[in-house]
Amino acid sequence: MNGGEDMTYQLAREAVIKNVAIRIKNVEAMSEFYRHIIGFTLKREENNLTIFGSSAPESELLLLEETPEGEMMYPLKKMRRLSFSVGSEAELASLLKRAIRGNQPIQSTLEMDGFKGLIIRDPEGNELEFFTQNRENKPNCATGQAIDIAAFAKEADPALRLQDTLAVTSLLFNSDDLDRSHDFFQGQLGIKEKDYTGSLKVGAEQLTIGLHKNEDALFDEEEAASLGLDFVTIQLPDKAAITALHDHLAAGTQPFYIDKKYRILTIFDPSGVEWWFTRPKE
Protein backbone atom coordinates (compact mmCIF):
# COMPACT_ATOMS: atom_id res chain seq x y z
CA MET A 1 0.00 0.00 0.00
CA ASN A 2 1.09 3.55 -0.60
CA GLY A 3 2.79 5.27 2.27
CA GLY A 4 0.69 7.72 4.22
CA GLU A 5 -2.66 5.94 3.64
CA ASP A 6 -5.06 5.65 6.55
CA MET A 7 -5.19 1.90 7.14
CA THR A 8 -8.35 2.29 9.27
CA TYR A 9 -10.41 4.01 6.58
CA GLN A 10 -13.59 2.21 5.53
CA LEU A 11 -16.03 3.17 2.80
CA ALA A 12 -19.35 4.45 4.14
CA ARG A 13 -21.61 1.61 5.23
CA GLU A 14 -24.53 3.26 3.42
CA ALA A 15 -22.75 2.98 0.05
CA VAL A 16 -24.98 1.36 -2.59
CA ILE A 17 -24.45 0.24 -6.16
CA LYS A 18 -26.14 2.68 -8.54
CA ASN A 19 -25.25 1.20 -11.93
CA VAL A 20 -22.70 -0.66 -14.01
CA ALA A 21 -21.70 0.17 -17.59
CA ILE A 22 -20.76 -2.43 -20.19
CA ARG A 23 -18.94 -1.46 -23.37
CA ILE A 24 -20.47 -3.28 -26.35
CA LYS A 25 -20.15 -3.70 -30.14
CA ASN A 26 -23.67 -4.51 -31.36
CA VAL A 27 -26.23 -2.28 -29.66
CA GLU A 28 -29.23 -3.78 -31.48
CA ALA A 29 -28.46 -7.38 -30.54
CA MET A 30 -27.54 -6.49 -26.97
CA SER A 31 -30.62 -4.28 -26.44
CA GLU A 32 -32.85 -7.03 -27.80
CA PHE A 33 -31.29 -9.54 -25.39
CA TYR A 34 -31.46 -7.41 -22.24
CA ARG A 35 -34.97 -6.17 -22.94
CA HIS A 36 -36.74 -9.18 -24.44
CA ILE A 37 -34.81 -12.11 -22.93
CA ILE A 38 -33.63 -10.86 -19.54
CA GLY A 39 -36.62 -8.60 -18.90
CA PHE A 40 -35.00 -5.26 -18.14
CA THR A 41 -37.05 -2.10 -18.71
CA LEU A 42 -35.63 0.30 -21.30
CA LYS A 43 -35.32 3.70 -19.62
CA ARG A 44 -33.86 5.86 -22.36
CA GLU A 45 -31.29 6.13 -25.14
CA GLU A 46 -28.89 9.04 -25.38
CA ASN A 47 -25.77 9.51 -27.48
CA ASN A 48 -23.98 6.13 -27.34
CA LEU A 49 -25.75 4.90 -24.19
CA THR A 50 -28.72 2.57 -23.84
CA ILE A 51 -29.95 2.62 -20.25
CA PHE A 52 -31.89 -0.21 -18.58
CA GLY A 53 -33.34 -0.73 -15.12
CA SER A 54 -36.00 -2.57 -13.17
CA SER A 55 -39.67 -1.60 -13.14
CA ALA A 56 -38.88 1.08 -10.52
CA PRO A 57 -39.11 4.58 -12.08
CA GLU A 58 -35.68 5.74 -10.87
CA SER A 59 -33.82 2.48 -11.53
CA GLU A 60 -30.94 2.72 -14.04
CA LEU A 61 -28.87 -0.32 -13.11
CA LEU A 62 -27.37 -1.23 -16.47
CA LEU A 63 -25.79 1.05 -19.08
CA LEU A 64 -24.81 -0.34 -22.48
CA GLU A 65 -22.08 1.83 -23.99
CA GLU A 66 -21.76 1.44 -27.76
CA THR A 67 -18.22 1.39 -29.15
CA PRO A 68 -17.68 3.76 -32.10
CA GLU A 69 -17.22 1.91 -35.38
CA GLY A 70 -13.57 1.27 -36.16
CA GLU A 71 -12.32 1.87 -32.60
CA MET A 72 -9.71 -0.68 -31.53
CA MET A 73 -10.74 -2.61 -28.43
CA TYR A 74 -8.71 -4.75 -26.04
CA PRO A 75 -9.95 -8.36 -26.41
CA LEU A 76 -9.64 -9.61 -22.82
CA LYS A 77 -12.60 -9.35 -20.47
CA LYS A 78 -12.05 -7.52 -17.18
CA MET A 79 -15.33 -8.84 -15.77
CA ARG A 80 -15.77 -12.56 -15.24
CA ARG A 81 -19.37 -12.44 -14.00
CA LEU A 82 -22.07 -9.92 -13.05
CA SER A 83 -24.69 -11.13 -10.56
CA PHE A 84 -28.20 -9.84 -9.84
CA SER A 85 -30.72 -10.80 -7.18
CA VAL A 86 -34.38 -10.87 -8.20
CA GLY A 87 -37.34 -10.51 -5.90
CA SER A 88 -39.29 -13.65 -6.75
CA GLU A 89 -39.18 -17.08 -8.34
CA ALA A 90 -41.82 -15.83 -10.78
CA GLU A 91 -39.35 -13.33 -12.23
CA LEU A 92 -36.67 -16.00 -12.59
CA ALA A 93 -39.14 -18.40 -14.21
CA SER A 94 -40.29 -15.75 -16.68
CA LEU A 95 -36.65 -15.08 -17.62
CA LEU A 96 -36.14 -18.79 -18.26
CA LYS A 97 -39.29 -18.98 -20.37
CA ARG A 98 -38.17 -16.04 -22.53
CA ALA A 99 -34.74 -17.66 -22.93
CA ILE A 100 -36.34 -20.94 -24.05
CA ARG A 101 -38.59 -19.17 -26.54
CA GLY A 102 -35.64 -17.15 -27.84
CA ASN A 103 -33.39 -20.22 -28.17
CA GLN A 104 -30.92 -18.69 -25.73
CA PRO A 105 -28.68 -21.30 -24.05
CA ILE A 106 -28.55 -21.41 -20.25
CA GLN A 107 -25.03 -22.10 -18.97
CA SER A 108 -26.13 -23.63 -15.67
CA THR A 109 -28.88 -23.64 -13.04
CA LEU A 110 -28.98 -24.47 -9.34
CA GLU A 111 -31.62 -24.93 -6.65
CA MET A 112 -31.49 -25.86 -2.98
CA ASP A 113 -33.47 -24.95 0.14
CA GLY A 114 -35.38 -22.09 -1.45
CA PHE A 115 -32.44 -20.81 -3.49
CA LYS A 116 -32.77 -20.82 -7.26
CA GLY A 117 -30.24 -19.38 -9.67
CA LEU A 118 -29.09 -19.46 -13.27
CA ILE A 119 -26.14 -18.34 -15.37
CA ILE A 120 -26.57 -17.04 -18.92
CA ARG A 121 -24.28 -15.24 -21.37
CA ASP A 122 -25.30 -12.21 -23.41
CA PRO A 123 -24.58 -12.06 -27.19
CA GLU A 124 -21.09 -10.66 -26.56
CA GLY A 125 -20.07 -13.27 -24.00
CA ASN A 126 -20.62 -11.37 -20.75
CA GLU A 127 -21.59 -13.89 -18.06
CA LEU A 128 -24.66 -12.99 -15.99
CA GLU A 129 -26.07 -14.64 -12.89
CA PHE A 130 -29.63 -14.19 -11.60
CA PHE A 131 -30.81 -15.70 -8.31
CA THR A 132 -33.70 -15.46 -5.88
CA GLN A 133 -31.97 -15.39 -2.51
CA ASN A 134 -29.51 -13.21 -0.62
CA ARG A 135 -25.94 -14.06 -1.68
CA GLU A 136 -24.93 -14.54 1.95
CA ASN A 137 -27.24 -17.56 2.16
CA LYS A 138 -26.34 -19.08 -1.18
CA PRO A 139 -25.74 -22.81 -0.73
CA ASN A 140 -22.67 -24.77 -1.66
CA CYS A 141 -22.98 -25.43 -5.38
CA ALA A 142 -21.66 -28.95 -4.88
CA THR A 143 -24.67 -29.90 -2.73
CA GLY A 144 -27.43 -28.38 -4.89
CA GLN A 145 -29.12 -29.70 -8.00
CA ALA A 146 -30.01 -28.35 -11.42
CA ILE A 147 -33.42 -26.75 -11.90
CA ASP A 148 -35.95 -28.70 -13.94
CA ILE A 149 -36.18 -25.85 -16.43
CA ALA A 150 -39.20 -27.12 -18.39
CA ALA A 151 -41.27 -27.70 -15.23
CA PHE A 152 -40.15 -24.48 -13.52
CA ALA A 153 -40.91 -22.28 -16.53
CA LYS A 154 -44.09 -24.07 -17.67
CA GLU A 155 -46.60 -21.75 -15.97
CA ALA A 156 -44.43 -18.63 -16.09
CA ASP A 157 -45.72 -15.37 -17.54
CA PRO A 158 -43.20 -14.25 -20.18
CA ALA A 159 -44.54 -10.70 -19.96
CA LEU A 160 -43.37 -10.31 -16.34
CA ARG A 161 -40.45 -7.87 -16.25
CA LEU A 162 -37.73 -7.60 -13.61
CA GLN A 163 -39.31 -5.80 -10.66
CA ASP A 164 -38.17 -3.01 -8.35
CA THR A 165 -36.28 -5.31 -5.95
CA LEU A 166 -33.72 -6.14 -8.67
CA ALA A 167 -30.19 -5.39 -7.43
CA VAL A 168 -26.58 -5.88 -8.51
CA THR A 169 -25.08 -8.09 -5.81
CA SER A 170 -21.73 -9.32 -7.08
CA LEU A 171 -18.95 -8.42 -9.50
CA LEU A 172 -16.33 -11.08 -10.21
CA PHE A 173 -13.20 -9.64 -11.85
CA ASN A 174 -10.38 -11.21 -13.81
CA SER A 175 -7.06 -10.07 -12.35
CA ASP A 176 -3.44 -10.62 -13.32
CA ASP A 177 -2.27 -9.68 -9.83
CA LEU A 178 -4.66 -10.71 -7.07
CA ASP A 179 -2.62 -9.04 -4.32
CA ARG A 180 -2.51 -5.72 -6.16
CA SER A 181 -6.25 -5.82 -6.91
CA HIS A 182 -7.07 -6.77 -3.32
CA ASP A 183 -4.87 -3.93 -2.08
CA PHE A 184 -6.70 -1.45 -4.30
CA PHE A 185 -10.19 -2.37 -3.15
CA GLN A 186 -9.32 -2.78 0.51
CA GLY A 187 -6.49 -0.28 0.93
CA GLN A 188 -7.48 2.47 -1.51
CA LEU A 189 -11.28 2.29 -1.44
CA GLY A 190 -11.68 1.05 2.12
CA ILE A 191 -13.86 -1.90 1.14
CA LYS A 192 -14.04 -4.50 3.91
CA GLU A 193 -12.86 -8.06 3.51
CA LYS A 194 -15.53 -10.69 3.97
CA ASP A 195 -15.15 -13.78 6.11
CA TYR A 196 -13.93 -15.92 3.23
CA THR A 197 -10.68 -15.37 1.32
CA GLY A 198 -10.56 -13.30 -1.84
CA SER A 199 -13.94 -11.61 -1.51
CA LEU A 200 -14.80 -8.10 -0.39
CA LYS A 201 -18.04 -6.32 0.47
CA VAL A 202 -19.17 -2.79 -0.34
CA GLY A 203 -21.17 -0.99 2.32
CA ALA A 204 -23.72 -3.02 4.26
CA GLU A 205 -23.47 -6.13 2.07
CA GLN A 206 -24.84 -4.22 -0.93
CA LEU A 207 -22.22 -5.54 -3.33
CA THR A 208 -19.66 -8.33 -3.19
CA ILE A 209 -16.43 -8.05 -5.17
CA GLY A 210 -14.67 -11.26 -6.12
CA LEU A 211 -11.24 -11.61 -7.72
CA HIS A 212 -10.32 -14.43 -10.09
CA LYS A 213 -6.81 -15.12 -11.30
CA ASN A 214 -6.62 -14.45 -15.03
CA GLU A 215 -4.71 -17.31 -16.67
CA ASP A 216 -5.14 -16.37 -20.34
CA ALA A 217 -2.93 -13.33 -20.94
CA LEU A 218 -1.72 -10.23 -19.18
CA PHE A 219 -3.67 -7.00 -19.22
CA ASP A 220 -1.85 -3.95 -20.52
CA GLU A 221 -2.87 -0.83 -18.64
CA GLU A 222 -2.02 1.25 -21.72
CA GLU A 223 -4.81 -0.64 -23.51
CA ALA A 224 -7.50 0.08 -20.94
CA ALA A 225 -10.34 0.33 -23.49
CA SER A 226 -11.92 -3.10 -23.77
CA LEU A 227 -15.29 -4.67 -24.33
CA GLY A 228 -17.25 -5.66 -21.25
CA LEU A 229 -17.30 -3.84 -17.92
CA ASP A 230 -16.31 -0.18 -18.32
CA PHE A 231 -17.30 1.62 -15.12
CA VAL A 232 -19.18 1.11 -11.85
CA THR A 233 -21.08 3.83 -9.98
CA ILE A 234 -21.36 3.72 -6.19
CA GLN A 235 -23.63 6.23 -4.46
CA LEU A 236 -22.41 7.51 -1.10
CA PRO A 237 -24.88 8.92 1.43
CA ASP A 238 -23.66 12.52 1.69
CA LYS A 239 -20.87 15.06 1.18
CA ALA A 240 -19.12 13.94 4.37
CA ALA A 241 -18.70 10.43 2.97
CA ILE A 242 -17.22 11.56 -0.34
CA THR A 243 -14.99 14.04 1.51
CA ALA A 244 -13.68 11.24 3.72
CA LEU A 245 -12.86 9.15 0.63
CA HIS A 246 -11.11 12.15 -0.95
CA ASP A 247 -9.02 12.80 2.16
CA HIS A 248 -8.02 9.15 2.37
CA LEU A 249 -6.95 8.98 -1.29
CA ALA A 250 -5.18 12.35 -1.12
CA ALA A 251 -2.85 10.90 1.52
CA GLY A 252 -1.57 8.36 -1.01
CA THR A 253 -0.23 8.49 -4.55
CA GLN A 254 -3.06 6.84 -6.52
CA PRO A 255 -4.36 9.32 -9.15
CA PHE A 256 -8.04 10.23 -8.90
CA TYR A 257 -10.42 13.05 -9.86
CA ILE A 258 -12.98 14.94 -7.80
CA ASP A 259 -15.09 17.90 -8.93
CA LYS A 260 -15.06 21.22 -7.08
CA LYS A 261 -18.44 20.63 -5.44
CA TYR A 262 -17.45 17.15 -4.22
CA ARG A 263 -20.34 15.54 -6.08
CA ILE A 264 -18.35 12.95 -8.02
CA LEU A 265 -15.01 11.21 -7.47
CA THR A 266 -13.52 8.85 -10.06
CA ILE A 267 -10.60 6.43 -9.87
CA PHE A 268 -9.31 3.52 -11.99
CA ASP A 269 -8.70 0.08 -10.53
CA PRO A 270 -5.66 -2.01 -11.61
CA SER A 271 -7.57 -3.63 -14.50
CA GLY A 272 -8.66 -0.29 -15.97
CA VAL A 273 -12.28 -0.28 -14.74
CA GLU A 274 -13.33 3.21 -13.65
CA TRP A 275 -15.12 3.58 -10.31
CA TRP A 276 -17.43 6.57 -9.87
CA PHE A 277 -18.47 7.67 -6.39
CA THR A 278 -21.39 10.08 -6.28
CA ARG A 279 -23.67 11.62 -3.67
CA PRO A 280 -27.25 12.91 -3.73
CA LYS A 281 -27.79 16.57 -4.62
CA GLU A 282 -28.27 18.81 -1.62
Average pLDDT over residues 137-155: 79
Q: Is the Cβ–Cβ distance between 52 and 35 less than 8 Å?
A: yes
What is the pLDDT of the chain when averaged over all its residues?
Answer: 85
Virtual CA dihedral for 113, 205, 183, 82, nearest 10 degrees?
60
Residue 280: per-residue pLDDT: 92
Task: With CA atoms as reference, report the closest residue to 242 among 204, 275, 193, 211.
Answer: 275
Predicted local confidence at residue 4, as pLDDT: 44
Residue 144 has pLDDT above 50, yes or no: yes
Instruction: Give pLDDT tens digits for 25-72.
Output: 899 999 999 999 999 999 999 989 999 999 999 999 999 999 877 565
Of 97, 93, 125, 84, the C-alpha closest to 111 is 93
- pTM of the predicted structure, to 2 decimals: 0.85
For residue range 222-253, list pLDDT tens digits in order: 444 577 888 999 999 999 999 999 999 999 99
For 28, 83, 120, the CA distances from 55, given in Å and listed in that order, are 21, 18, 21
* Mean pLDDT value across residues 250-270: 95
- If phi over 0 gives left and psi between -120 and 50 gives alpha, with beta otherwise, what is residue 180? alpha
**Could you tell me the domains of the chain?**
69-278 (3.10.180.10)
Residue 115, by phi and psi: left (phi above 0), alpha (psi -120 to 50) or beta?
beta
Q: What percent of the chain has pLDDT over 90?
A: 58
pLDDT tens readout for residues 106-118: 999 999 887 899 9
